[in-house]
Amino acid sequence: MNGFWNLFAVAAAAGITTVALRVFPFVVLGRGGRRPKIIEYLGRVLTPASILMLVVYCLGGYYKNGLPPNTVRALAPAIATVFVIFMQWTVRKSLLSVFAGTIVYMFLVQYCSTLGY
Amino acid sequence: MLVDWFCSSASWLHVAILTVCLNLRYSLYGLPFLARWKDVAWWKKAYLIWTLTDETYALEVKHIDLEEAQFIPYCLALGGFDHLYWVVGVTAGALAGRALPFSSEGIDFAMSALFIVIMVDQYRERANRMPAAIGAAAALGSFLLFGVESMLIPSMAGMLTIFLCLRGRLDRSST
């Protein structure tokens, strides 16, 4: 599968699955309205677990070719992550944390990494 | 998130399975409205379900005690506006992205930052901590074993197994 069709298949898969999940309870439970306990449980635990998985997935992407030789580049994701956690833990403004964290990361990889460490 | 999948040339099956795990919550979002939306015309109901995103859900559930005559128009309007914001935001982003006057290297960290923010917010609730730790352990394990490109399915399989095995303990502690 090449470029366009792969893109198309990925978009279609994500879109159709998402809509199907939203429709699902209305179709299956439309009449009775009783929810299966195990679905409720899985929905509850999978949400925090999948967020952690995504964090690992995203951060892991920065190290997929091993540690970058440039020290600043190697440390930048870790520094920015700690910064975002700190911002969100203290200030609690989600948009600000995302924005500031991204700026810090961009500053690190674009400017600080050219300083030669 | 889709952007990452587009770039990583993940197969559609990967994406479908990941979407199920990620968006399983959408199936739960419908539950409170099953009874409230019972008598709505099918095409309106279809739109209500279509626009039932995280933010729409949060705002609709907040006002679920409204009378029928107010609640349905409220939900429709809310869904419509959220829909509009999405379309406008995406279009503006696509147009602005091309005209950016500075290097955007590293801007992809915004996505990581967003997940980290959600993680921190969820951590405040005690019941989320154990599931989050299990998710992190499963993800980290499969990252180290399989590498970042193929870590998603093993880590989801891993956490599902753990959650099903520990249901007796976790289900009790969080209710």
**For B60-109, what is each residue's pLDDT tens digit?**
776 777 887 888 898 999 999 989 988 998 888 888 877 777 777 888 89
| Own/partner long-range contacts of A78-82 (Cβ < 8 Å, ≥24 apart) | A79/A104, A79/A105, A79/A108, A80/A104, A80/A105, A80/A108, A80/B109, A80/B112, A80/B113, A81/B112, A81/B116
Range A60-79 average pLDDT? 89
Angle at CA A46, nearest 5°, toward A40 and A49?
Answer: 155
Predicted confidence at residue B3, as pLDDT, reads: 65
Q: What distance, in Å, lies between the first and last C-alpha atoms of chain A? A: 41
Predicted confidence at residue A101, as pLDDT, reads: 96
Residues of A in contact with B103 (CB under 8 A): 110
Sign of CA dihedral B120, A19, B108, B94: negative
Could you say which DSSP state residue B5 is in?
H
Sign of CA dihedral B127, B132, B135, B141: negative
Residues of B in contact with A22 (CB under 8 A): 26-27, 29-30, 49-50, 52
**DSSP class per residue in A34-100:** PPPHHHHHHHHHHHHHHHHHHHHHHHHHTTBTBS-SSHHHHHHHHHHHHHHHHHHHHT--HHHHHHH
Predicted confidence at residue B134, as pLDDT, reads: 95
Predicted confidence at residue B137, as pLDDT, reads: 96
User: Which residues, including other chains, have CB under 8 Å from residue A16's CB and lie 6 or more apart?
Assistant: B16
Residues of A in contact with B25 (CB under 8 A): 43, 46-47
Range A46-73 average pLDDT? 87
Predicted confidence at residue A1, as pLDDT, reads: 46
Predicted confidence at residue B175, as pLDDT, reads: 47
**DSSP class per residue in B23-81:** THHHHHHTTTHHHHTTTS-HHHHHHHHHT--HHHHHHHHHTTTS-HHHHHHHHHHHHHH
Contact at 8 Å (CB) between A27 and B30? Answer: no
Of B31, B33, B29, the closest CA to residue B45 belongs to: B33
Structure tokens at B135: 């998710």
pLDDT band at A56 (very low <50, low <70, confident <90, very high): very high
Q: Are A57 and B151 within 8 A, CB to CB?
A: yes
CA B32/CA A29 separation, integer angstroms: 11
Q: Are A17 and B16 within 8 A, CB to CB?
A: yes
Question: Is residue A109 over pLDDT 60?
Answer: yes
Complex confidence, ipTM: 0.81
Q: Are A52 and B114 within 8 A, CB to CB?
A: no
Nearest to B19 among A17, A57, A89 (CB): A17
For chain A, give the number of residues.
117
